[in-house]
Chain A
């Protein structure tokens, strides 16, 4: 199993000769954006990434680190060229059934692996930060409880909220889904290897602000559209970088 992205791209030729698709990718903008983010973080490095995503500096987006990143993404596009599925879980399925070598996706994909009864470490494994830059982008779902006058309902709401973040529920939910718990004081020793890697990164403070926090939904959609176009056509890395820099320049 390759230890980082560079080793993976080097071994891709052998995978293709064996008739295996190196990289599985669903043809939807948000998935391609996740891959773009992961490759950029790994290849362009943390500082350049911060410059673009936090400071929204278009000059960094036009700079050499991002040129290297876009070319790596163009290479990934070639590796995923035969991947003709649409949804993310169809792409995960390609990896589960052995038709594809890898997928760049969030840790919720582990849920698919566990439903297919595959074991981490034996049937599959993972490389946080593509092995080059171990950081995690955090995001999650939120539950909203509307304020109301009935005390019985309010008590029930509080009970549900307490249950959701209770240690027992956090452990069992995250073990089933493959994600990381929202509280740091629980025993995740039964978690598999991938989750342990993630927990270690969390504990070391390797956390990035999520795309939802950095960019407005409008900017995110524009970036996803650009990724959708870039991945499904033979747009050059230079053109994509120029378009990306324009979006960053107008980002809010």
Chain B
């Protein structure tokens, strides 16, 4: 005999599902309103106004796709998205790799694990502005790393990425990875701790080497952790702005421009809201393009299975 899930009422009707768990629903009402009004509403408003000729203040003067035409013929925008692509791919791969490697090393039951964990996580406590400024000083050729190594004797040592338009994004990458890999390391460590001890013993019995165990057995088991890490890193990549402003100011020239900086400068320095809205709509599109196939794979698959 099955246990009834809903207690039968006197009148024989089931209580409305709307009022089931009504206290939790009341508590989540502010967040629902915020999400609807601010996130969905604000986004819809921005996308709508990207089709207008708004300058310093929003106006409803319809211009169709003019803002987008100007955006895609602008050198600065093309440089921005190329830079974001380079930074994004490198940051994703390297942060995941470094985070996982550090976590795997820390998980080997070493001494002073807590100390090492704190040291690796400390950079994450710094804001991007502080990170950017500190690394600007470290990478400064006159009193940073280059001059220190030269003082030690290697006078031919050259390390000046921030003044070289071709590799300035890698200078930014160093700072970004230094800041972000601590958090990924901690998430990976938590995931590794969730792996059952028996798996390790079974792998040892089967005679699989340690590195192979990690790659072939453990990583596939940590798929949800990797997805979480991916989302966090991707969010950090898309909103890359304060690190660029603090470390290079977009220079030298325009070689370290990024889309978020384009949006802010066009909206406030150039006082051209329409262009800024068009650029941020394009940023939203790029996120959606990545999100929709992933969501389909994650959630669509289960219905079939």
**CA of A233 to CA of B79, assembled, Å:** 13
For the residues of A in contact with B, the DSSP-based class is helix
Q: Does B236 contact A (CB under 8 A)?
A: no
With A216-B271, A218-B55, A228-B251 known as contacts, the answer to whether A233 contacts B75 (CB < 8 A) is: no
A233/B253 in contact, CB under 8 A: yes
Q: Does A86 contact B (CB under 8 A)?
A: yes
Min Cβ gap A208→B in Å is: 22
With A225-B75, A225-B76, A233-B165 known as contacts, the answer to whether A218 contacts B270 (CB < 8 A) is: yes
A231/B253 in contact, CB under 8 A: yes
Q: Does B266 contact A (CB under 8 A)?
A: yes
List the A side residues contacting B270 at CB < 8 Å.
217-218, 220-222
Q: Which of B246-289 contact A (CB under 8 A)?
A: 248-249, 251-255, 265-266, 269-272, 275
List the A side residues contacting B269 at CB < 8 Å.
217, 221
Min Cβ gap A249→B in Å is: 13
**CA of A228 to CA of B76, assembled, Å:** 10
List the B side residues contacting A225 at CB < 8 Å.
75-76, 254
Q: Does B144 contact A (CB under 8 A)?
A: no
B252/A232 in contact, CB under 8 A: yes
**CA of A232 to CA of B255, assembled, Å:** 9
A86/B249 in contact, CB under 8 A: yes
Identity of the chain A residue whose Cβ is nearest the Cβ of B254 in the assembled complex: A228
Q: Does A28 contact B (CB under 8 A)?
A: yes
Interface size on B, residues (CB 8 A): 22
List the A side residues contacting B75 at CB < 8 Å.
225, 229
Q: Which of A211-252 contact B (CB under 8 A)?
A: 216-218, 220-222, 225, 228-229, 231-233
List the A side residues contacting B253 at CB < 8 Å.
27, 29, 228-229, 231-233
List the A side residues contacting B56 at CB < 8 Å.
217
B249/A221 in contact, CB under 8 A: no
Q: Does A154 contact B (CB under 8 A)?
A: no
**B251 contact from A86, A221, A222, A233, Cβ within 8 A:** A86
With A221-B270, A225-B75 known as contacts, the answer to whether A232 contacts B249 (CB < 8 A) is: no
Identity of the chain A residue whose Cβ is nearest the Cβ of B268 in the assembled complex: A217
List the B side residues contacting A218 at CB < 8 Å.
55, 266, 270-272, 275
Q: Which of B57-96 contact A (CB under 8 A)?
A: 75-76
**CA of A232 to CA of B248, assembled, Å:** 14
**CA of A29 to CA of B254, assembled, Å:** 8
Q: Does A84 contact B (CB under 8 A)?
A: yes
List the B side residues contacting A221 at CB < 8 Å.
265-266, 269-270
**A86 contact from B141, B248, B275, Cβ within 8 A:** B248
Min Cβ gap B260→A in Å is: 16
**CA of A95 to CA of B119, assembled, Å:** 42
Identity of the chain A residue whose Cβ is nearest the Cβ of B255 in the assembled complex: A232
B271/A232 in contact, CB under 8 A: no
**CA of A216 to CA of B75, assembled, Å:** 20
Interface positions of B (Cβ within 8 A of A): 55-56, 75-76, 141, 160, 163, 165, 248-249, 251-255, 265-266, 269-272, 275
Interface positions of A (Cβ within 8 A of B): 27-29, 84, 86, 216-218, 220-222, 225, 228-229, 231-233
| 15 pairs of residues in contact across A and B, judged by CB atoms under 8 Å | A27-B163, A27-B253, A28-B251, A86-B251, A217-B269, A218-B271, A218-B272, A218-B275, A225-B76, A228-B254, A229-B75, A231-B253, A232-B251, A233-B165, A233-B253
